[in-house]
């Protein structure tokens, strides 16, 4: 997973033009990394280069450069015509996205795998439900809620047949409960507040315990006042591997949990340009586990390469199929495989374009699959 920014390539001419426009605002503290980019199709397209600036991390060490840059930008763009401002802002967003790869521009990172501890053969996790200020885009803080102080919550991963125990501590100012979305478990562990268990009141805890019976890409999220709680971030991925070993032979996997509304359009709690880049080496196959915890369908479109849809809601499809746009409905999960056969920065975004781009540039449900040599 070690991705070096030097692998990224942007056409030199593009960068040079951009530098002329925004040069005053974007001091090039870093150097240019040039590299040839083979076309692969026999054409005579221009050679390509990489242009990424380094940033001075903010006082807290987590990348405060974005806001400084934004101030400078504001002054500068006052003299731009409307259409030039559109270009400038689009470029700015992409620069911030590339910068974010090297040094995160927002505080807080969710969707981090949490290893269980073993207690007498049981895999045990501790989860807290927390009120938090969450930075979804550089400088954009929202009143969120998250498991273990992060959005998406930690990734829980087990194997079919595991006995698992999850202690949920409610640090919220209201009651909650935790639903294990997709897992086949006893009804009294299903986590629907009041219907299958007493709600977990503020300050209280509840222990869930069950066996993992069905492999697949699943989720966990609040199920009490859930329209509000899930919307604000009380959600996470629960991956169950088959007893026979991982279902897919891949170089790496990505877990992408989408959300909308309260925190804006987010993937794993972040909107573009703070969304995580996906990376792969040319020739690798990767697995993307899609999950939609929002209130809208999101048809995610991958440029340049097809996705093979292997499973829905953890259940293998009898007839996997190829597509380049997968319409993920709220509550659904999809496993998709991508053969990374083509180098480049492949845009990857919701094709409801109002979730992904405005005259101020890309935002929300946009990321990039960066395939390097």
* Residue 90 or 281 with smaller CB distance to its own copies: 90
305, 337, 338, 340: which one binds its own copies (CB under 8 A): 305
DSSP three-state, residue 12: helix
- Verify binding: residue 304, its own copies, rule CB under 8 A: yes
Q: Which is nearer to its own copies, 108 or 273 (CB)?
A: 273
Q: Which DSSP category does 146 fall into?
A: E
232 interacts with its own copies by CB under 8 A: no
Q: Check residue 223 for interaction with its own copies (CB under 8 A).
A: yes
Phi, psi of 135 (to 5 degrees): -90, 100
Q: Which of residues 316-345 bind its own copies (CB under 8 A)?
A: 317-325, 327, 329-332, 342-345
Report the b/e string of 327-348 with b at 16+ CB within 10 A: bbebebbbbbbbebeebbbbbb
What whole-number distance in Å separates Cα of residue 107 and Cα of residue 93? Answer: 18
Nearest CB to its own copies, comparing residues 6 and 113: 6
Shortest distance (Å) from residue 68 CB to its own copies: 21
Mark residues 2-21: x for contact with its own copies by CB under 8 A, - for none: --------xx-xx--xx---
Tokens of 25: 């605002």
Q: Does 282 bind its own copies (CB under 8 A)?
A: no
Q: Please, what is the minimum distance in Å from the beta carbon of residue 89 to its own copies?
A: 9
Decide if residue 296 touches its own copies (CB under 8 A): yes
Decide: is 188 part of the binding site for its own copies (CB under 8 A): yes
At 117 the three-state DSSP class reads: strand
Number of residues that bind its own copies (CB under 8 A): 101
| CA contacts within 13 A on the Cβ side of 352 | 14
Query: In angstroms, what is the minimal distance from the CB of 57 to its own copies?
Result: 25
- Is residue 209 at the binding interface for its own copies, with CB under 8 A as the rule? yes
- Pairwise CA distance, residues 247 & 339, whole Å: 16
Instruction: Give the list of residues 6+ apart from residue 18 with CB closer than 8 angstroms, or none.
Output: 51, 91, 95
Is 131 a binding residue for its own copies by CB under 8 A? The answer is no
Helix (H) or strand (E) holding 72: helix 65-77
The owner of tokens 């990394």 is 33
Is there binding between residue 36 and its own copies (CB under 8 A)? no
- Measured CA to CA in angstroms, residue 335 lies from 57, 95, 240, 314 at distances of 36, 30, 13, 8
28 binds its own copies (CB under 8 A): no
Q: Which is nearer to its own copies, 107 or 122 (CB)?
A: 122
| Binders in 346-365 for its own copies, by CB under 8 A | 346-347, 351-354, 356-359
CA 321, 326, 327: angle at the middle one, nearest 5?
125
Which stretches within 82-195 are classed as H helix? 82-102
Check: CB of residue 309 under 8 Å from CB of residue 335.
Answer: yes
Choose between 54 and 341: whose C-beta lies nearer to its own copies.
Answer: 341
Nearest distance from C-beta of residue 310 to its own copies, angstroms: 11
230 binds its own copies (CB under 8 A): yes
Given the complex with its own copies, which of 129 and 135 has the nearer CB atom? Answer: 129
173 is a contact residue toward its own copies (CB under 8 A):
yes
Return d(Cα 141, Cα 228) in angstroms, integer.
17
């Amino acid at each position: 997973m070690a991705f070096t920014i030097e692998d990224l390539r942007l056409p030199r001419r593009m960068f040079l033009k951009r530098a002329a426009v925004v040069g005053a605002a974007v001091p090039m503290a870093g150097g240019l990394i040039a590299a040839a980019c083979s076309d692969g199709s026999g054409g005579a397209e221009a050679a390509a280069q990489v242009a990424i600036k380094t940033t001075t991390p903010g006082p807290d060490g987590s990348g405060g450069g974005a806001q400084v840059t934004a101030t400078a930008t504001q002054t500068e763009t006052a003299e731009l015509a409307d259409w030039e401002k559109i270009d400038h802002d689009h470029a700015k967003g992409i620069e911030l996205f590339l910068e974010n790869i090297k040094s995160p521009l927002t505080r807080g990172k969710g969707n981090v795998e949490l290893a269980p501890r073993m207690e007498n053969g049981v895999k045990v996790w501790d989860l807290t439900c927390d009120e938090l200020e969450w930075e979804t885009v550089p400088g954009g803080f929202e009143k969120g809620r998250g498991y273990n102080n992060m959005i998406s919550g930690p990734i829980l991963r087990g194997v079919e047949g595991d006995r698992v125990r999850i202690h949920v501590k409610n640090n919220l100012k209201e009651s909650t409960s935790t639903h294990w979305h997709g897992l086949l478990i006893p009804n009294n562990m299903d986590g629907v507040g009041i219907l299958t268990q007493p709600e977990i009141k503020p300050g209280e805890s509840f222990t869930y315990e069950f066996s993992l019976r069905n492999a697949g890409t699943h989720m966990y999220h609040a199920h009490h006042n859930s329209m509000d709680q899930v919307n604000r971030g009380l959600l996470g991925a629960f991956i169950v591997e088959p007893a026979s070993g991982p279902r897919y032979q891949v170089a790496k996997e990505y877990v992408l949990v989408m959300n909308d509304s309260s925190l804006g359009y987010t993937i794993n709690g972040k909107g573009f340009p703070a969304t995580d880049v996906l990376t792969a080496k040319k020739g690798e196959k990767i697995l993307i586990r899609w999950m939609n915890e929002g209130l809208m369908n999101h048809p995610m479109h991958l440029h340049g390469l097809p996705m093979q849809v292997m499973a829905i809601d953890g259940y293998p499809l009898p007839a996997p199929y190829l597509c380049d746009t997968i319409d993920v409905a709220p509550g659904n999960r999809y496993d998709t495989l991508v053969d990374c056969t083509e180098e480049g920065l492949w845009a990857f975004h919701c094709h409801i374009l109002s979730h992904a781009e405005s005259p101020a540039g890309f935002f929300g449900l946009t990321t990039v699959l960066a395939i390097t040599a």
